[in-house]
């Protein structure tokens, strides 16, 4: 018989429960030896949604954990301070108190709030005292094609404004042309510019061509000191997918086996349903284990995902599905 879930506490202020990735010298022999068996990866990924299923109280517990893994995000051209403040209020209280009380839960928060640089100070003020970090997208997000010195300066300005995490975008051309030294040097420079802020390297996997390129780019960014590797900006035609995730997760596993260093993972773009979050969490548990089911090593880049999770939790408590508009983000 399933027991009631143990209460889940608020997410930590920053991913600091383990040593940061210091990086290592670029090992071209390692990079050249990296392969990706696309057909095997796709077969394994196709089995994932049906292989793991949690129900009732266990499902509610997993969904509550998923909330603590969300980088609640707004990256729209019409963002305003008011919208960001409302999003931060949602990050502080992502689930209605009556639902938490019915499940015997204490307060929880999302993993972070993610915004453009222009909104960092607004978000930092709105989240003061909550322990929720602000993540800023940077380096000419989403294309990463602005002048290099400006990309570095943008990182520095966001850190100065209070961002505890920086989501950088790599130059895809370095991957597509196989210029791994240039990608490594770029990532090392971005890592240095971040200073104390944790850095998430966005690979824009939908634009890298092959899973082998995804795997090699993952290793190069980790060698250069990335604290997280992230699938997408959310602006590409193809964003997070299970084959890409499996490729990147196994690169993380191999990197830890070789160096003893744990690197985090962030799928982003297109993950909007609670059932999808459960699939990704099951994948992390299967491939990397329980440590990667915590916000210091796993995040979802999402916004609408939270609304669907809250809707599923209301169904768990009441037995009825509510309208989506009852669970607005901001």
Q: Which residues are catalytic?
A: 167, 230, 266
Contacts of 282 (CB under 8 A, 6+ apart): 48, 51, 52
Strands (DSSP E) along 194-263, which ranges? Answer: 198-202, 228-230
What is the rounded distance in angstroms from the CA atom of residue 188 to the CA atom of residue 272? 32
* CA 71 – CA 169 distance, rounded (Å): 17
**From residue 41, how far is each of 127, 187, 211, 243, 254 by CA, in Å?**
40, 27, 9, 6, 16
At a CB cut-off of 8 Å and minimum separation 6, what does 86 contact? 329, 330
- Only one residue has tokens 């000419």, namely 140
C-alpha separations of 258 from 22, 34, 175, 249 in Å: 14, 14, 23, 14
Phi, psi of 40 (to 5 degrees): -70, -40
Question: Cα(90)–Cα(74) distance, rounded to whole angstroms?
Answer: 12
Contact 70, 306 (CB under 8 A): yes
């Amino acid at each position: 018989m399933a027991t009631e879930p143990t209460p889940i506490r608020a997410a930590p202020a920053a991913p600091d429960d383990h040593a940061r990735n210091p990086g290592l010298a670029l090992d071209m022999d390692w990079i050249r030896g990296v392969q990706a068996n696309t057909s095997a990866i796709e077969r394994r990924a196709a089995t994932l949604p049906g292989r793991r299923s949690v129900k009732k109280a266990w499902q509610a517990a997993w969904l509550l954990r998923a909330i603590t893994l969300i980088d609640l995000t707004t990256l729209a051209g019409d963002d305003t301070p008011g919208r960001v403040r409302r999003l931060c209020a949602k990050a502080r209280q992502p689930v209605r108190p009556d639902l938490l009380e019915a499940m015997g839960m204490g307060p929880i928060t999302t993993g972070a709030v993610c915004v453009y640089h222009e909104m960092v100070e607004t978000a930092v003020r709105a989240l003061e005292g909550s322990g929720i970090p602000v993540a800023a997208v940077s380096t000419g997000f989403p294309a990463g094609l602005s002048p290099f010195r400006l990309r570095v300066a943008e990182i520095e300005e966001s850190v100065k404004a209070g961002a505890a995490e920086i989501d950088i975008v790599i130059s895809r051309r370095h991957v597509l042309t196989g210029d791994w030294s240039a990608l490594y040097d770029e990532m090392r420079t971005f890592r240095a510019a971040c200073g104390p802020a944790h850095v998430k390297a966005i690979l824009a996997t939908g634009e890298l061509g092959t899973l082998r390129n995804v795997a090699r780019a993952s290793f190069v960014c980790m060698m250069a000191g990335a604290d997280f590797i992230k699938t997408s900006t959310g602006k590409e035609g193809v964003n997070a997918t299970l084959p890409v995730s499996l490729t990147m997760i196994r690169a993380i596993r191999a990197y830890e086996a070789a160096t003893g260093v744990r690197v985090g993972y962030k799928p982003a773009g297109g993950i909007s349903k609670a059932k999808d979050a459960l699939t990704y969490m099951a994948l992390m548990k299967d491939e990397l284990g329980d440590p990667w089911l915590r916000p210091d090593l796993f995040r979802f880049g999402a916004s609408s995902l939270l609304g669907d999770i809250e809707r599923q939790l209301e169904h768990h408590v009441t037995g009825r599905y509510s309208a989506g508009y009852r669970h607005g983000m901001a």
